[in-house]
Structure 1
Amino acid sequence: MSDRTWDWNPSEEYLTEGLPPGVVAEVERLATELAALGPDSVRVGRPVDREGGLREFDFLAGRGFISFLAVPRHECVYVCHITWSG
């Protein structure tokens, strides 16, 4: 288990505006799981051919995805964008 955390970037209000509560809950669950991966979170999702940078991860059977940034020196995963096509 990791001591890393996650946060919204820019803000929860901005990123979740208009999204169903279940979608927000799933994003929060995924962000918690990504933070728990610790340093390995820089390799999760797309792009698959390199580490670091802005990453994408599908959720809810491909009906949406999150873009996140894992910053090892901050020991934090930042959720930067949510796309929902539900």
Structure 2
Amino acid sequence: TNDYSIILNSNDEPVAIIKTIEVTVTPMNEVSEEFAIAEGEGDRTYNYWRDTHVRFFTKELNELGLNFSEDMLLVCERFELVDVNNKVKL
């Protein structure tokens, strides 16, 4: 934890710096509602987070010849935004 990362846009240009504050490995079916909502995706509900991630992981795993499992392990990262957009200097 307390690692810093540079976030790049689709043109590989830096757009933000984040500081990782926590990393946990959690079974998919044990990810908390609070964590899912904190990701800020879609309508910011647990159901949206779950449905979107089930579809994503099912598709990606199927392409690798693997199956989705409700108890597969996910790496869950919490971070703080340190700097954004044109303020990023490298």
TM-score interval (norm. to shorter) = under 0.3
**Greater relative contact order (Cα < 8 A, sep 6+):** 2
With structure 1 as the length reference, what TM-score do the two structures score? Answer: 0.28
